[in-house]
Structure 1
Amino acid sequence: MTALEAHDLTVTFGHTTALDGLTLSAADGRITALLGPNGAGKTTFIRCCTGLAEPNSGTLRVLGMPAGSPGALPRIGVMPQSTGAWSGIRAGELLRYLASLYANPQPVDDLIDLLGIAPFVSTPYRRLSGGQQQAVNLAGALVGRPELVFLDEPTAGLDPRARRLTWDLVAAARDAGVAVLLTTHDMVEAAQLADHVHIIDGGRVTASGTVAELAVDESLETAYLRHTTGAAR
């Protein structure tokens, strides 16, 4: 089953082309990694999938429905890179509020314990360290028991122990049948987690395959460098 399917997707902001005929898919119960340099269009693509940005052209279906539709949104989870709108709320209050938006959320206390949030559960989000914010962001993405979850650089700023814990949680979500779309700059992370990889550059897919297929005669990092220029559009 295909949880996410984009075909010939184009997004422009003024004279800037963020997505330029992007075509890719993500399967149920699999971790799909989206690799690309800063400015390649990864975050713009996630914003389209979650209804926060509208493509100029192309088709995009999420869980079999148009992206952003009322039927799809309650069934997805999102871990963004930054959440400035959350700055004044305490970590525990935020997670309980997010849980209240879903019909069958995960127990918030269990997520707090699992992700080590308890020591800062009463701290305002804006006062948390980068790693602490990442833990809260991940809990927020998973609390609604999503069928499809978007993780935008989920381990950025984490120490090695927290990074390994995050990897374990992402793998557990996949094993439970959740479709995961993961963006990362960490080639080790992608090689460790991803069932399928899309490399994008300049708003389009330049290579796709399993890690083994992309790195058959080289490392994943070398394959990444070969298929990207790093030139943002």
Structure 2
Amino acid sequence: MGTVTQTPLANLGPAEQLRAGRMPRRLAQLLVGLWLYGVSMGLMIRSGLGQVPWDVLHYGLALHLPLSIGQVVVVASFVVLLLWIPLRQAPGLGTILNAVLIGVALDVTLAMVTAPSAVAIRIAFMVVGILGNALATALYIGAQLGPGPRDGLMTGWSRRTGWSLRLVRTSLEVVVVAVGWLLGGVLGVGTVLYAIAIGPLTQHLLPLFTVPLEEREPVSDASR
């Protein structure tokens, strides 16, 4: 058995992620995080006070396609994964599960939760949605089983261009929000608060939920 390292986030390929140990804990945390992510997106939509930036695009597309918004999320995730090819990004298990489960959880949430009429409840939905999304992000990233399709697009683009991750993220989100708004997506105070709060909240929560991986001895040339 290897010893446990306290390195916050490891830079591992897809196969290495699966061999890094603690799979029951990491897989459970990944699944909880992805489901919570979809639920938090649903609460933001039901609040009517603004959507997550990428959801502005998803919602706008759903208005023009014979698909639910959750189905649009799934399709868009796999389209984004195609953009990984020129960036030479390799998806992990978490990447594929991210592409599927979040959209399913979103549709389930929207089917179970109706839009409230009381302003106080709408505000509560928005706040819980933002906080829940930050927690969900820390959970699935902390599982260290691969980035989500959109996260990988940002990091891959940043690596290939040399642009800062902040600049890449801002550029992408400005584009998707603008296109989504033109298609009928909903902008609001929730969109602005999400954009301001999600980074600091995730940064604060991530160390709490990053699963330390097992440090394995390097394979010697003689044993290859």
TM-score in terms of structure 2 length: 0.35
Higher relative contact order (CA 8 A, sep 6+): 2
Larger helix share, 1 or 2: 2
Flag the structure with larger Rg.
Answer: 2
TM-score between both structures, scaled by the size of structure 1: 0.34
